[in-house]
Amino acid sequence: MILTASWIIGLIRRRPANLVGAIVGVGLAVALLACLGGFIDSSLKTMTAEAISALPIDWQILLNSPADEEEVRAAIQKADPQATMEPVLYADVPALVAKTGETVQTTGTATVLGVYPYYINTFRTEVAPMVGVDHGVLAAQQTASNLHVSVGDRVTIQRAGGLPPVDVRIEGIISLPDAGSIFQKIGAPPGASPQAPPDNVIVLPVQKWRDLFLEQMAVQPDSARSEVHVRTARLDLPPTPEAAYAWELGRAHHLELSMTGRGVVGDNLAARLASVRVDALYARVLFLFLGLPGLLVAALLTLGIASSGAARRRQQQALLRTRGASVRMILTLASAEAAFAGIGGGLFGALLTLAVRVAFKTALGVSFAGTGRWVLIASCVGLVLAFAAILRPAWDEAHRLTVAAARKVSPANSNPLWQRRWLDFGLLAVAGLLLWWMSRTGYELVLAPEGTVSTSVHYEAFVGPFCLWVGAMLVTLRFFRMILKQGLPLATKLRLPPFAGRLSRIIAAGLARQRQPLTRAMALVALAFSFAVSTAIFNATYQAQSRVDAQLTNGADVAVSGISSEAVAADLLSKLESLPHVGAARPMLHGYAYVGNDLQDIYGIDPKTLGEATQLADAYFADGGAHAALTRLEDQPDGVLASAETVSDFQLRRGDELNLRLRSAPNSEYHFVPFRFIGIVREFPTAPKDSFLVVNSAYLLSRALSTAEWIILIRTDSDPSLVATEVSRITGRIAGLRVSDIGSAQRQINSSLSAIDLSGLTLLELSFAIVFVAGATGLALFLSLGERRRSFAILSALGAKKRQLAAFMWSEAVTILVGGGLVGVCLGWVVAFALVKVLAGAFDPPPEFLTVPWAYLWLLCGAAAVLTAAGITLHLRKLVREPVVSDLRSGV
């Protein structure tokens, strides 16, 4: 015990740098694992919370009969005593009619809702009052526009079942932002396409609805129905989306059972969680893809730092054995050192985690949940790592080497088994085959079938990138060995810098003989660089795609929607174009058209100018990219670009005539308009992901499309949110207009991979990556030079001047830094490319090229160079300023 304590005290006093290096390495690994773990937990929890926070109605329960309402309410109360619920009555009617002046407007089929006054308070986001009162007879904005009515006007409701029409007086205009949910078809089988909400909606107080439609209900029961809308307390909802989905599905099934057939549950909460569930799986995959290499680098860095003192440790052990110490004693001392480094690293890692946690909370407002648990897990991993780094080599040496062999200073340079068996090229071949197969077959990484609890992630997809990573690293090692063995003498012959001085032959010969530790150091640098570069490139590409996705959703940097007439659009356009920082503002028409019986979004654009206001990427269009598609549309006035789904559903071929049913003024009735199919559009600004059409706006207007809205897309060179505020000032006086910017769209997207906010994770990883690169270059070099201090002391004693000592150190440093750095950057690039390929299905739309964050890469290289220079300067200063006698006297 006393000997062990003396040993540790001796290490602290004599070799603090090595011990601190090992502690720092273990600490970094612990901190990274703890931060990543906490971040994953926190992200998944946030994903669940954010996904359902804006969901107003958890359950929509379709009653078999209005008479069952009490029993159903009781069942809901039993399932969730704190649930709030409101009944909603629906009646489908053949038409609404309004007379304004001399003209009479008649709509198609409409739906009349009956709600209690409390409904608007309970489900605030479902009904948004725009003009007039918020309870009474309310017309949806689109309906009011179709009928040309406003508050105070009368509307005639044509009732079904041959009943006489009834008149109501409009008391308010509302919008129904979540109409898709309110009018969803409850009990539709999984995978069924969503039902389009009705074009015309009137909302009545329940009593009035009953007065007008109970009779219709009796005469034609299928024309009316009752629902109960429920918001549950969500008290026991598990934090992760997968668990929450399973829990919610079970709860809804249980409610259906307890209602004994009186109602069918439309489970909006489960539907929302189902979509987030896929995102959560992707998030896990991403965390693994990005986090695991980081942990591996941290572990290898720790092993590398610990191994920088291996030669000295080996000699010390040999000395102990010479003096009679048993193997057990040697291993006890090594265990004590490992435990010290492990516990110290754990404490350092915990402090670092705390610091990162505080920094993230302060700077980004991101909090990590359950960090304590992760610190504990990570500390155990750190302890194992410390034992692997210190005890394992001691064990090997104590059991394998003779004392004489252990006392040798220069390591053996024989080729390892993997190199002799060509394992590196084998792994690369496997990686190439797997990646080729995955890109060819459109591999689905994540599977989460709708309506089932089970989900699956194809973790075997990791095998390709993993083989690529390991294989490339081994090839790198082989390459480094070859370069050090044959390249260095060649560099000396060719007088390449830094091997151009008169000492270069000697230096190169020395480095070539130390190729094993040098190869390890270069590999470590390459590994750290590859991790940093792959993470940075993947992150930049991801952020760029996230922005593209947000721009697709929002339409442009800033978008103004809900413009009801061409005149208003033209007036606004002139005002918006004169705003500062507005690069371009272009209008676009949006309406609906029937393709067969399928109602689809239709967009009218000016193909010549729309690209000035928003990005129209080549990936959005099949057959030749954006320019070709838009030129075709420009050349063909009646041309139509259709979504891939539409083309597939209707077996369209280029040149086919496509008759769309469009609603036209003045009678707002649908009629056929002929178009010519000219190509496939995969994505389009503001368009849905499934079915839509893009046509020339001039042609669309010439066929008098009514009930369409105008959207103005704005490109800005400034902060979109600030421009959006300016735009809102102009549009504020016009009712029904909505202004949105790309930032808010980015925050609201919740149906794709881009929903996962990687910025926190990647900031964490990129920060650690810089530390790893610093550790692999500056710290490793500092420790390595420190280990060979006696060699430099001998050089100094022989009379080597400062510049000659520097030549020795710089030659080694440049070999490690340039060799390792260059290979690392290339490797990182390849790994980022492979990651993007593997996750290609997750990007929406897929990236056309990798985005390279040059500033970060320069920062990385700069940090490595500066830290290397610092490591050398420190050593040189110590060698020159302090007497080298003590190093000369020491035998090891």
Partner 1 sequence: MDKILLSLDDVSRYFADGRLERPALRHISCNVAVGACIAISGPSGSGKSTLLHIMAGLDKPTSGLVTWPALGQEIDLRPDEICLIPQTPSLLPALTVLENVELCWLLSKGNEAEARVSALRALERLGLLLIVNRLPEELSGGQLQRVAAARAIVCEPRLILADEPTGQLDSVTGSRLIEALVDTAANSNAALVVATHDSAVANRMIVQWHIARGKLEQSPT
The binding site for partner 1 (CB under 8 A) comprises: 408-410, 502-503, 505-506, 509-511, 513-514, 791, 794-795, 797-801, 804, 883-885, 888-891
- CA separation for the pair 48, 53 (Å, rounded): 8
DSSP secondary structure, 465-506, as one string? HHHHHHHHHHHHHHHHHHIIIIIHHHHHHTT-TTTTSTTHHH
Closest CA to 294 of 55, 590, 538: 538
Q: In the complex, what is the shortest distance from the CB of residue 791 to partner 1, in angstroms, rounded to a whole number?
A: 5
Closer residue to partner 1 (CB): 409 or 866: 409
Beta bridge partners of 97: 106, 156
- H helices, E strands: number in the chain: 31, 24
Closer residue to partner 1 (CB): 84 or 804: 804
Instruction: Go through 666-699 and write b for each residue having 16 or more CB atoms within 10 A of its CB, e for each that does not.
Output: eebeeeebebbbbbbbbbbbbbeeebbbbbbbeb
- CA separation for the pair 803, 501 (Å, rounded): 11
Contact 693, 661 (CB under 8 A): no
| Sequence-separated (6 or more) residues with CB below 8 Å from residue 734 | 563, 568, 572
Q: In the complex, what is the shortest distance from the CB of residue 490 to partner 1, in angstroms, rounded to a whole number?
A: 17
Contact 603, 713 (CB under 8 A): no
Q: In the complex, what is the shortest distance from the CB of residue 501 to partner 1, in angstroms, rounded to a whole number?
A: 9
Is cis: bond before 497, omega within 30 of 0?
A: no
Closer residue to partner 1 (CB): 514 or 530: 514
Closer residue to partner 1 (CB): 1 or 404: 404
Closer residue to partner 1 (CB): 16 or 883: 883
Q: In the complex, what is the shortest distance from the CB of residue 290 to partner 1, in angstroms, rounded to a whole number?
A: 39
Q: In the complex, what is the shortest distance from the CB of residue 816 to partner 1, in angstroms, rounded to a whole number?
A: 15
| 287, containing H or E segment | helix 268-307
Closer residue to partner 1 (CB): 400 or 502: 502
Closer residue to partner 1 (CB): 518 or 771: 518
Q: In the complex, what is the shortest distance from the CB of residue 796 to partner 1, in angstroms, rounded to a whole number?
A: 8
Q: Which amino acid is at 791?
A: S
Q: In the complex, what is the shortest distance from the CB of residue 480 to partner 1, in angstroms, rounded to a whole number?
A: 17
Kind of pairing, strands 558-563 and 224-231? Answer: unpaired
DSSP class of residue 414?
A: P
Q: In the complex, what is the shortest distance from the CB of residue 340 to partner 1, in angstroms, rounded to a whole number?
A: 24
Q: In the complex, what is the shortest distance from the CB of residue 303 to partner 1, in angstroms, rounded to a whole number?
A: 23
Largest CA distance in the chain: 115
Closer residue to partner 1 (CB): 311 or 532: 311
Q: In the complex, what is the shortest distance from the CB of residue 818 to partner 1, in angstroms, rounded to a whole number?
A: 20
Beta bridge partners of 87: 228
Closest CA to 392 of 463, 471, 313: 313
Closer residue to partner 1 (CB): 503 or 852: 503
Residue 281, CA atoms < 13 Å, CB-side half-sphere:
23
| 7, containing H or E segment | helix 2-14
Place of tokens 């420790």: 783
Q: In the complex, what is the shortest distance from the CB of residue 793 to partner 1, in angstroms, rounded to a whole number?
A: 9
Q: In the complex, what is the shortest distance from the CB of residue 797 to partner 1, in angstroms, rounded to a whole number?
A: 6
Q: In the complex, what is the shortest distance from the CB of residue 411 to partner 1, in angstroms, rounded to a whole number?
A: 10
Closer residue to partner 1 (CB): 246 or 884: 884
Place of tokens 């129209």: 616
Closest CA to 605 of 583, 617, 588, 592: 588
The alpha helices in 578-665, defined as continuous H runs, are 625-635, 644-649
Determine the Cα angle at 458 with ends 764 and 51, to 5°.
55
Q: In the complex, what is the shortest distance from the CB of residue 506 to partner 1, in angstroms, rounded to a whole number?
A: 5
Query: Residue 460: how many CB atoms within 10 A of its CB?
Result: 11
Closer residue to partner 1 (CB): 417 or 798: 798
Closer residue to partner 1 (CB): 316 or 696: 316
Tokens of 210: 């009953």
Closest CA to 831 of 850, 804, 855: 850
Q: Which amino acid is at 731?
A: T
Closer residue to partner 1 (CB): 620 or 810: 810
Phi, psi of 13 (to 5 degrees): -80, -40
Closer residue to partner 1 (CB): 462 or 480: 480
- CA separation for the pair 610, 617 (Å, rounded): 12
